[in-house]
Structure 1
Amino acid sequence: MPAAQELFDCRKAWATTLESLAEEDTRIVAVVNDSVGSSNLGGFQARFPDRIVNVGIAEQVMVGVGAGLANGGRVPFVSAASCFLTGRALEQIKADVAYSNYNVKLVGQSSGVAYGELGATHHSIEDLTWLRAMPQITTIVPADPWETEEAVRWAAAHDGPVYLRLSRMKVPDLGPDADGARRFTPGRARTMRHGDEATILASGTTVHLALNAADELAAEGIDVRVLSFHTLNPIDVDAVLAAAEETKAIITVEEGLKSGGLGGAVAELVTANTPVPLERIGFDGFQTTGDAETLFAKAGLSADGIKSATHRVLGRKSKDR
């Protein structure tokens, strides 16, 4: 992908889309924890002042209010920094949203290590591990502004709980799928590049890094498949098993704990169905204080890191033979 490609903040796409949907559907409301600014909801508040509820710094209350609004026929988008939304209010997410199967849209802002310098208390790398254990909650990790807009529109129309994981780190627009079209279907991965040597499964802020790595690998004569796994709950089982059956190895890439997120889900599937060499790139436990770029590099979340992992896993395949 071009080095000078324009970068976008997906939170702007989320806010613009929500305002547009709220204009058409008066049931849509926002619930925040003193996070109007960080949620990019200033415009929403100005346009719909009677349709935003600010509970203050009380995340458990925030999720409970969202559940109550859903029970009353509203379509609440409950928005907060993902580390506090999924950490402090996990019990309410479990009992009030998932167990009750209420039509609440949880929006985790500035996810992953976007708050890098604030340290482990503000990193949100455990959220996908926690929420993947609740199959009632459709869990979506958009990779670019287009996926973000599509995810918000789908969530508003879907009858059931949803978790949207948004980052404040800027990313490029991925453009169309490998066949020239653009398709967003929750539970179905997007094929961004074809290849038969290995498959890179990436989500969120890491998909463009996977594509950059694929370009560099192609220059070496190694054609890899790249999939955008924007949905972790439910996971695209068919795409994972096809990758295991049709290519020689799999690499998973994610801005989260590799033990329980995308990497964990893929490991569970391939070991139970079609064992294949697997490399997982992500975080191992709590991260140190540091800017996001430094933390990414340390974890191998870069084109070079992904390329190295691809060489390692293909080397393991050669040795197996």
Structure 2
Amino acid sequence: MSGRATPPDLAQNLPPSPCVGICQIDRATGWCGGCGRSEKELAGWRDLPAFAQRAVWADLPRRNAILGLGFRLLPLAGTALLEHLAGRSLLPGARWAIGVHGASVEFAADGEPVRAALEAGVLHLATRLGRATLTLPAGTRAFELVDGQGRATRLVLALHRARLRTPNPAGIELIGPDRDALDPGGRAAVLVDLGLGRRALRFCVRSHDPVLLARLEARRGAALQDAPDLVAALVEAAAGWVAISPFGRIEAEGRILRNDQAGPRARLLPDLLASGRELEPGLELPPDYVACASLFPGEAGLPNGAPRATASGE
């Protein structure tokens, strides 16, 4: 692929360590109950040569399965992680989501090939009805969530809670024209944050409709859960939906969907939202990490030589 950046030094493409903040030794195995390393590996990690660290990383999925962990940290960071995500994004059936349990905007193919570009540390994805941009802020950790058989059900990009210090609005807030819209046609529409008050999510509607905007203006500052009539109007609105996290944004056009129809879509289910959960029940990250974006796998894993996103114009 022309214009593809040469990956930097290996150390820049690995997380600094497998630590996930759960530092308790499992006495049955002698491994850390969070990352799977032995006490000797924990004590001497910084002094281990690169080949020895890679050998430990390669064995951690086996150890994590024995420990019964529902997550595993990928040994990828920086350019290597972004290229891995780009390749997985192009697999048939792959789907990105930014949101929480009960409210999300999702990007997926809608019957046409996904247009993709990997440029200057940003992954751009587009179809007819949806767009996404994704980047990797400092401190990014990529976790695979696994089921009881050890199969990855999704890949979650997360940040430590300490990196999410600025709270998002906890009430409806009219932002104004969406000048950062990925779809140029949306830049004159008014963007409204629906005020979910989540640390890693701004869940927004974007509209030209004066009636809908007037209803939102009338509820400025109110909590969405206190306005069931407004929720009903939003579910029926043919609008633009925007989810923003520290990793980027996803946009989708059309009505809120309640089924599993393919393609870009938005979900808004107040009953689920009221749980306050970031992930569905049964799925967990290490307690100090917040899910900011999720990639649901396509029809196959990413083998060596998997497809890569292409630069614009190629």
- Provide TM-score, normalisation by structure 1: 0.30
Larger Cα Rg: Structure 1 or Structure 2?
2
Higher RCO, 1 or 2 (CA under 8 Å, sep at least 6)?
2
- Provide TM-score, normalisation by structure 2: 0.30
Between Structure 1 and Structure 2, the one with more strand by share is: 2
Between Structure 1 and Structure 2, the one with more helix by share is: 1
